[in-house]
Amino acid sequence: MQVVVLPDHGWREAWRDAARRLAAAGIPPEQVTWTTAPGLFAAAPLPPERPLSAPRAFVDLADAVLCHRDPERFALLYQLLCRLRQDRRVLDNPADPLVARLHGLAKAVRRDSHKMRAFVRFRELPAAGARRRFAAWFEPDHLIVARNAPFFARRFADMDWTILTPDERADFIGGELSLGAGVPRPDLPDDASEALWATYFTNIFNPARVKLGAMRSEMPVKYWRNLPETRQIPAMLADSERRVAQMRSAAATVAPGRAAQISERYRAAMPKPPEKIDTLDAAAAAARTCTRCDLYCHATQTVWGEGAPDARLMIVGEQPGDQEDLQGRPFVGPAGDVLAEAMGKAGLDRDAVWLTNAVKHFKFKPQMTARGGKRRLHQNPDRQEIDICKWWLDLEQRFIQPKLTLGLGGTAAYALTGRKEGITRRRGKVEDTAAGPVLLSWHPSYILRVPDRAAADRARAQLVEDLTLAAELVA
Ligand code: URA
């Protein structure tokens, strides 16, 4: 029996050397014992070195398999090498049990290497010389540090770094790569870039696409504790149900097939527009046949304002949404629910105000759903559409003569004031316009869309605050 004791480090080179000598000497696999446990067996001297060639595919396979933790890998590879000496086509048969098993081991190593290249996170250490210094702790499944160290050396050639793992370590100092024994988990400093990773990860996290199985397979849980970005995962998962419900209620619904018929019937039954627009009712009737811009072509109907014609407060949104387009009334969908709740808290009665939109037709983009249905995705109206529709908004303001107009969101702000700045710094303040004072606040749809719960709660509270101020100003 030939016993080969391989060293803890450099076993890949040692196995190659021993396997070459043994195979060239014709020693059959059953007469060789491979081990990495010195002392258990007495190593016998190896036969002298003789030339031996092996197919390239075997060399590549062996390179990967040697990094696997399976203690049988040395013997299995040697078996294959001996068989290749009889028949060089063995490797062409993927169904061969030995070949299949070795390919399985190689695949696991390649996958582990891929994870290592993706999930090693360096933390900066105080620099000792001109080069910046970094260290990373990683826990691979297999013994892959030596295999992957050259990749990191190429990628991070201009810095000094160390990758530490429980079994092996790689150091790249002054451009020289060296390999050594593993260490217990060290205490590495937090890195400034971790906050960036965490923010990036939080931003790309889509609660509606949470597929824990896929997440765990792409980024197995065992890597999570060493990745700064994944510290957010438990909190994000805990909040994902609420966020999905919120996204769902804010999303466009599937347009029922009847939308087109409603639209046709509505246009056919439309009375002739009045010749003179001298009342609010005449303005409403004229608006029903509006073709001033192209939005009427696809929308179901004009959504005119509603409420008290002598309202002291006029509230202006952006444009009708999916539900509003079908029902012909403003703010009757999810954004309407948010507004109704906020108005209730501010003590405002929907029937006592005039509720309308800056743009009177629904602008949307048809989109196929995963199930082959169609839905209508809200699109912001552009400036030209807002400017054209201002004709109707001006008429509403002229006939209602509100003491105050509350504009919700950027579109209403632009329509009412002509100023293009967003409302972040303008909300809660009254601005003077030719048509009277205008107060600005958040749009309810923004509250539904904003991903961060705290920010949404803040915006909701501010909307109530602004509605309360509006109620006081018109009292
Ligand atoms: N969003 C608006 O701006 N107006 C509506 O009527 C509905 C949603």
What is the CA(321)–ligand 1 centre distance, in A? 5
Tokens coding 131: 């080069």
Q: Is 331 in the pocket of ligand 1 (CB under 6 A)?
A: yes
What is the CA(317)–ligand 1 centre distance, in A? 5
Index of the ligand 1 atom closest to the CA of residue 412: 3
Q: What is the pLDDT of residue 460?
A: 97
Taking the C-alpha atoms of residue 408 and residue 357, their distance in angstroms, rounded to an integer, is: 9
Q: Write down the domain spans for the chain.
A: 2-115, 120-181, 199-241, 280-474
Coil, strand or helix at 28: coil
What is the CA(424)–ligand 1 centre distance, in A? 19
Outline where DSSP puts E strands in 277-433.
306-307, 313-317, 354-357, 364-368, 374-378, 404-408, 430-433
Q: Is 357 in the pocket of ligand 1 (CB under 6 A)?
A: yes
Q: What is the pLDDT along the chain (475 residues), one digit of tens a residue?
A: 889 999 888 889 999 999 999 999 999 999 999 998 776 666 778 999 998 989 999 999 999 999 999 999 999 999 999 999 999 899 999 899 999 999 999 999 999 999 999 888 888 888 778 888 889 999 999 999 999 999 999 988 888 999 999 999 999 999 999 999 999 988 876 654 555 455 555 555 566 666 666 666 666 667 766 766 666 666 666 676 666 666 665 555 555 556 666 666 666 666 677 889 999 999 999 999 899 999 998 888 999 999 999 999 999 999 999 999 989 999 999 999 999 999 999 999 999 999 999 999 999 988 877 666 678 889 999 999 999 999 999 999 999 999 999 999 999 999 999 999 999 999 999 999 999 999 999 999 999 998 888 999 999 999 999 999 999 999 9
Q: Is 319 in the pocket of ligand 1 (CB under 6 A)?
A: yes
Neighbours of 362 (CB within 10 A): 28
Q: What is the pLDDT of residue 356?
A: 98
What is the CA(412)–ligand 1 centre distance, in A? 10
User: Taking the CA atoms of the chain, what radius of gyration do you get in angstroms?
Assistant: 36
Half-sphere exposure of 306 (CA within 13 A, CB side): 13
Per-residue CA distances from 327 to 137, 203, 258, 261, 332 (Å): 59, 35, 12, 13, 8
Tokens coding 330: 């403003």
Neighbours of 448 (CB within 10 A): 20
Q: What is the pLDDT of residue 451?
A: 83
What is the CA(357)–ligand 1 centre distance, in A? 7
Q: Is 330 in the pocket of ligand 1 (CB under 6 A)?
A: yes
Taking the C-alpha atoms of residue 329 and residue 140, their distance in angstroms, rounded to an integer, is: 60
Q: Is 318 in the pocket of ligand 1 (CB under 6 A)?
A: yes
Index of the ligand 1 atom closest to the CA of residue 330: 6
Alpha helices in 251-370 (DSSP H): 258-268, 280-288, 322-327, 334-345
What is the CA(339)–ligand 1 centre distance, in A? 10
Q: What is the pLDDT of residue 376?
A: 87
Q: Is 307 in the pocket of ligand 1 (CB under 6 A)?
A: no
Q: Are 230 and 219 in contact (CB under 8 A)?
A: yes
What is the CA(444)–ligand 1 centre distance, in A? 8
Cα torsion through 10, 13, 14, 20, rounded to 10: 170
Tell which one of 445, 447, 449 to mutate to probe ligand 1, the residue whose CB is within 8 A of the most ligand atoms. 445
Q: What is the pLDDT of residue 446?
A: 95
**Number of H helices and number of E strands within the chain?**
17, 15
Taking the C-alpha atoms of residue 405 and residue 315, their distance in angstroms, rounded to an integer, is: 6
What is the CA(356)–ligand 1 centre distance, in A? 8
Q: Is 410 in the pocket of ligand 1 (CB under 6 A)?
A: no
Tokens coding 234: 């438990």
Tokens coding 364: 């949307």
Tell which one of 306, 331, 408 to mutate to probe ligand 1, the residue whose CB is within 8 A of the most ligand atoms. 331
Index of the ligand 1 atom closest to the CA of residue 408: 3
What is the CA(85)–ligand 1 centre distance, in A? 77
Quote the CATH superfamily of domain 280-474: Uracil-DNA glycosylase-like domain (3.40.470.10)
Q: Is 335 in the pocket of ligand 1 (CB under 6 A)?
A: yes
Write b or e for each residue in 267-298: b if 16 or more Cβ atoms lie within 10 A of its Cβ, otherwise e.
eeeeeeeeeebeebebbbbbbbebeebebbeb
Could you tell me which of 217, 65, 191 has the C-alpha nearest to residue 120? Answer: 191
What is the CA(329)–ligand 1 centre distance, in A? 9
Residues in a beta bridge with 172: 161, 177
Q: Is 385 in the pocket of ligand 1 (CB under 6 A)?
A: no
Q: Are 436 and 474 in contact (CB under 8 A)?
A: no
Q: Are 143 and 167 in contact (CB under 8 A)?
A: yes
Q: Is 321 in the pocket of ligand 1 (CB under 6 A)?
A: yes
